[in-house]
Amino acid sequence: MTRPIAFSGNTLDRDERHRKDEAYLATSLQEDKTRILPVWKLAPLVREGDEKRLAWATPAILDGHGGPDPVFLGVADGRAHFAVDISAHGEPLKEFGWEGAASFPDLRATVGLLPPGDGGIAAQARHIVDWHSRHGFCPGCGEKTRPKDGGWARICTACSSEHFPRTDPVVIMLVTDGERCLLGRQPGWPKPMVSALAGFVEGGESLEEAVRREVREEAGIQVGAIRYVTSQPWPFPASLMIGCEAEAVSRRIQIDPSELESADWFSKDEVRAALEAPTQRLGVPPPIAIAHHLIRAWVGK
């Protein structure tokens, strides 16, 4: 796979060694050269205009900031980079004077317009900011937790147990039967949009076992050989998409209606045409989705 995939390609050095260096982090947050990515209701700030890119602020925006601690994203060009959750502000564009220059657009709708490196940073920032927003308490004892290590852990203020951001592995697989592939539509998706089957890897499962289980459960199809293709971070809220091609060894589709509204076999020619423009019967996922890349790789485009 040589095409860049949305949300990968983060250009920052995550610089793990500095996460535990409180002096470094505190000093960086005093320096004008440090770059702060404001995140509001899980959307990072994006510069308006013909060339959209992430919009960075200086540590000055943290003056009087009563919200969550900034999270250390990493380093580039000798400058520390942080993300900060400013969701507590009602009208941040007005309050910080960003109106007209920047905004908080929906990340799924915008990532395809950002430079690839910015998409990777946006994924990292959204993933970790979301995690902090939903992990203020210790799952072991129910008391409050506080962030540590530049935001890459939380520690319980009562029992001292440490908690780390979670990343949920998801298998997504294009099931193939020679010149045909299996695509399905989840309940609620707009017609004619279909995609590859997908599901979370469960505890005590290998990737291959998860692929076989999901395809059997959702579509009633038995799978033989499985080939890993590529992967993608998908921060909605915390997935790691693991893309595979899986050879069907049975053909008769029997869907689980709680998972899929429909599923069918589509020929390479149909899929190639739909990659150009949706047909009445078939719309394929857009380029920001790993499924698009799995399909494209399969048809050889």
* Binding interface with a second copy (CB under 8 A): 5, 7-8, 10, 14, 16-17, 120-121, 123-128, 131, 134-145, 152, 161, 163-169, 200-209, 213, 217, 228, 230-233, 235, 238, 240, 242, 256, 258
For a second copy, give the closer residue by CB, 137 or 298: 137
**The two three-digit tokens of residue 160, written as one number:** 């001292």
For a second copy, give the closer residue by CB, 49 or 142: 142
Residue 11 φ/ψ region, left for φ over 0, alpha for ψ in the -120 to 50 degree band, beta for the rest: alpha
- Cα–Cα dist 55/101, whole Å: 9
For a second copy, give the closer residue by CB, 238 or 263: 238
Look-up: residue for tokens 């601690």?
69
**At closest approach, how far in Å is the CB of 217 from a second copy?**
6
Furthest CA-CA distance within the chain? 63
Going by their DSSP bridges, the two strands 35-40 and 43-44 should be labelled as antiparallel
Q: Name residue 121's amino acid.
A: I
**At closest approach, how far in Å is the CB of 14 from a second copy?**
6
**At closest approach, how far in Å is the CB of 188 from a second copy?**
19
For a second copy, give the closer residue by CB, 111 or 253: 111
Q: Please report how many Cα atoms fall inside a 13 Å half-sphere around the Cα of residue 4, on the Cβ side.
A: 16
**At closest approach, how far in Å is the CB of 277 from a second copy?**
29
**At closest approach, how far in Å is the CB of 91 from a second copy?**
26
Helices 268-276 and 290-299 pack at an angle, to 10 degrees, of 130
Q: Which of 185, 183, 177, 143 is nearest to 160 (CA)?
A: 143
For a second copy, give the closer residue by CB, 86 or 121: 121
